[in-house]
Structure 1
Amino acid sequence: MADLSEVTQIMGANNAFVPGKRIKFDFGTDGVILLDGVAEAVTNDDSDADTSIKISFDNFKKMAKGDLNATTAFMMGKIKISGDMGLAMQLQSVTSKIKLGG
């Protein structure tokens, strides 16, 4: 299963960001991935973002593989969102840009 740096590289290679916006995935002790649509980059910088999404790295990988629905995960409390909720709603289109292997 991919680690944080591999996932960051995959997302960067697939331009998995929203133009002009910053979305931060906060994986707690596992680190962060910043989808920086302003700089058009994907990094592990723990910087300010328009939207922050707190989720475990394991659940993030399940979501990216299609094994966990983002809406269901949110309703179950597996995802916590702060900031621009409209931007968070675009989460599915962002994760559809990456394909993580088994």
Structure 2
Amino acid sequence: MSTVIEAAVAALNAKMDGGFDGLAKFVIEDEGSILIDDTGARASDAEADVTLTATAETFQAILEGEMNPTSAFMTGKLSVDGDMGLAMKLGSVLG
């Protein structure tokens, strides 16, 4: 597992303060994937209801609150495949 993925898993678990009511996956380009569900975040490439894909820089900016997830999506820095409602719910958890 890459150090970027390890750091992202830790940051997501701290930010979410528990699990997420859904099954979502973040794909960090050239690094790996993170699955988020009711048990929290972990490194995994399993299937999910929604998949969000971004560069490591975009993902980090979203986690640090420097970039709004909706703005990232609207400007093409974040792509979403699957359940858009679940993606919006995840955005509010992270934002």
Shorter-chain TM-score tier: 0.7 to 0.9
TM-score by length of 2: 0.83
Structure 2 unaligned regions, length at least 5: none
How much has 1:62 moved relative to structure 2?
0.4
- Superposed, which structure 2 residues align to 1:42-53 within 5 Å? 42-53=41-52
**Residue 73 in structure 1 maps to residue 75 in structure 2:** no
For residues 7 and 26 of structure 1, the distance between their equivalents in structure 2, rounded to whole angstroms, comes to 11
* Number of positions where the alignment pairs a residue of Structure 1 with one of Structure 2: 91
Matched residue, 1:99: none
CA shift, 1:24, in A, is 0.1
CA contact (8 A) 2:50 2:86 kept: yes
Q: Taking structure 1 as reference, are residues 67 and 49 closer, same or farther at Cα in structure 2, changes over 3 Å only?
A: same
Map of 1:90 onto structure 2: 89
Looking at structure 2, the residues matched to 84 and 69 of structure 1 have their Cα atoms a distance apart, in angstroms, of: 19
Superposition CA RMSD, Å: 1.7
TM-score w.r.t. length of structure 1: 0.78
1:24 aligns with 2:25: yes
Structure 2 match to 1:56: 55
Gaps of 5+ in 1: 97-102
Greater fraction helix: 2
- Is 1:10 the counterpart of 2:1? The answer is no
Runs of 4+ in structure 1 over 4 Å off: none
- Give me the whole-angstrom Cα distance separating, in 2, the residues matched to 1:59 and 1:82: 17
